[in-house]
């Protein structure tokens, strides 16, 4: 009986001495658990020395099924899911969602509610950009700017908490208006923050925006040309850094944005520094919008008066049987928009954001699809990184400002 063969036989002797020396690219997996990928993002990177020859983003590690879940919830309940896709600019998702539903219903949103929506949306944009600056500087090894940015952001978090009761995942916007009116100290809080912030912006510029080290590290690096931005459907500040003057607050105004005077800031270079600079200048414009909205803020209702859309106030329930019936039907059955489909493009801190909703006449959407900017923007990461250094890739990721909840949804 012959002896059994070993499970892992030893290789032949000649295999231990390869006849020729060959080189090949080194493949590195970055993420999905990595602090510099800004979420659960995996990058499969091929390197020739320090130079990137191939980069493939792998997404889906944070898939939540929000779109399908919203198809099994009433239109009012959808607000509790929308803001969780982008935890840095949650008000933008809430606003985009309610605008689409309101278009289906032909709702009449009071002027005061629209002003408050704009104020909170722009303040949230500022808070998101502050996180962008702090984390981008961290990726370049600068720790101090992060604490500066978080200092100012803390004041904004206090404002959001005063309005909605929470510091994130707000759920304050409602179909037809707002959950309730803002507190009396809301306007003084916002004005106090606005008065102090320009001085801090000057500090930011002197500390890092105009810093020669940062400029040397980011200028001419990871360039996205105007043609490339169009081909890859880039939107938001990243597209405007490549010379595309596309801002849906201007090109397709919503919530009364046509009433405000502000500029769409653009740059032509398309490099990392341009993407940083556009967001810096955009914070100045957001402050202008908020200041104007505060000056235009007048007393008034904050909900659509149509009782088929907005819950009646408490005092009506005590005196009106009709109000009780409307309340009961809204709570138990929800809204019933007519059959149709709708999409309203909006401008979030990361780019074009909109909710495509199909209604079959029931109390729940037949179909919900979210056009989120981070997914499209990540497409530009590969062509802008190839040919560059591996050390610059981390900063390039930060320059597109992705939020992975916005990608995987």
For the chain, which residues make up each domain, given as ranges?
A: 56-408
The beta strand positions in 319-385, using DSSP E, are 340-342, 346-347, 352-359, 367-371
Are 69 and 83 within 8 A, CB to CB?
no
Nearest to 63 by CA among 96, 32, 28, 90: 32
Predicted confidence at residue 19, as pLDDT, reads 52
Report how far residue 275's alpha carbon sits from residue 265's, in angstroms, rounded to the nearest whole number. Answer: 11
β-pairing, 173-174 vs 51-58, is unpaired
Nearest to 308 by CA among 330, 285, 288: 330
Report how far residue 124's alpha carbon sits from residue 378's, in angstroms, rounded to the nearest whole number. Answer: 22
Are 88 and 123 within 8 A, CB to CB?
no
Is the pLDDT at 17 greater than 60? The verdict is: no
- Most confident region among 37-41, 151-155, 202-206 by mean pLDDT: 151-155
Report how far residue 313's alpha carbon sits from residue 321's, in angstroms, rounded to the nearest whole number. Answer: 13
Identify the architecture of domain 56-408 in CATH. Orthogonal Bundle (1.10)
pLDDT in tens, 381-407: 999 999 999 989 999 999 999 988 888
Predicted confidence at residue 186, as pLDDT, reads 96
Helix axes 111-139, 144-164, angle to 10 degrees: 160
Q: For CA atoms 132, 297, 78, 337, give the dihedral sign.
A: negative
Q: Which residues pair with 369 in a beta bridge?
A: 356
Cβ partners under 8 Å of residue 313, min gap 6: none
Report how far residue 329's alpha carbon sits from residue 244's, in angstroms, rounded to the nearest whole number. Answer: 47
pLDDT in tens, 175-230: 999 999 999 999 999 999 999 999 999 888 888 888 888 899 999 999 999 999 99
* Residue 20 confidence class, pLDDT cut points 50, 70, 90: low
Is the pLDDT at 15 greater than 60? The verdict is: no
Are 105 and 141 within 8 A, CB to CB?
no
Mean of all residue pLDDT scores within the chain: 89
pLDDT in tens, 275-310: 999 999 999 999 999 999 999 999 999 999 888 888
13-25: average pLDDT: 53
Predicted confidence at residue 1, as pLDDT, reads 42
């Amino acid at each position: 009986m012959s002896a059994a063969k070993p499970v892992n036989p030893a290789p032949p002797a000649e295999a231990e001495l390869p006849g020729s020396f060959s080189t090949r690219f080194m493949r590195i997996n970055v993420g999905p658990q990595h602090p510099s990928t800004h979420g659960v993002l995996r990058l499969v990177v091929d390197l020739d020395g320090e130079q990137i020859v191939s980069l493939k983003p792998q997404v889906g590690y944070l898939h939540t099924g929000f779109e399908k879940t919203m198809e099994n919830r009433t239109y009012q309940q959808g607000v509790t899911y929308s803001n969780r896709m982008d935890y840095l600019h949650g008000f933008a998702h809430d606003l985009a969602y309610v605008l689409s539903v309101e278009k289906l219903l032909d709702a009449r949103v009071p002027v005061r509610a629209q002003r408050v929506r704009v104020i909170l949306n722009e303040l949230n944009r500022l808070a998101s950009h502050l996180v962008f600056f702090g984390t981008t500087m961290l990726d370049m090894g600068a720790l101090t700017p992060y604490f500066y940015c978080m200092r100012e952001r803390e004041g904004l978090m206090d404002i959001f908490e005063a309005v909605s009761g929470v510091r994130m995942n707000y759920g304050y916007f409602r179909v037809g208006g707002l959950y309730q009116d803002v507190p009396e100290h809301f306007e003084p809080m916002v004005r106090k923050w606005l008065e102090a912030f320009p001085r801090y912006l000057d500090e930011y510029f002197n500390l890092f925006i105009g810093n020669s080290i940062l400029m040397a590290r980011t200028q001419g690096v990871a360039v996205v040309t105007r043609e490339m931005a169009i081909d890859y459907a880039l939107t938001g500040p990243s597209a405007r850094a490549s010379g595309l003057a596309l801002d849906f607050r201007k090109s397709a105004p919503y919530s009364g944005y046509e009433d405000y005077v502000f500029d769409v800031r653009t740059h032509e270079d398309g490099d990392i520094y341009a993407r940083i600079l556009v967001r810096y200048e955009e914070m100045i414009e957001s402050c202008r919008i908020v200041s104007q909205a505060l000056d235009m803020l007048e007393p008034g209702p904050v909900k659509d008066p149509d009782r088929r859309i907005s819950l009646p106030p408490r005092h009506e329930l005590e005196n009106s049987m009709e109000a009780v019936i409307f309340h009961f039907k809204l709570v138990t059955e929800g809204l019933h928009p007519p059959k149709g489909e709708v999409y309203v493009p909006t401008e979030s801190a990361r780019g074009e954001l909109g909710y495509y909703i199909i209604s079959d006449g029931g109390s729940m959407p037949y179909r919900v699809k979210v056009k989120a900017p981070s997914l499209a923007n990540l497409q530009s990461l590969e062509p802008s990184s190839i040919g560059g250094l591996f050390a610059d890739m981390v900063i390039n990721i930060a320059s597109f400002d992705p939020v992975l909840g916005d990608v995987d949804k």
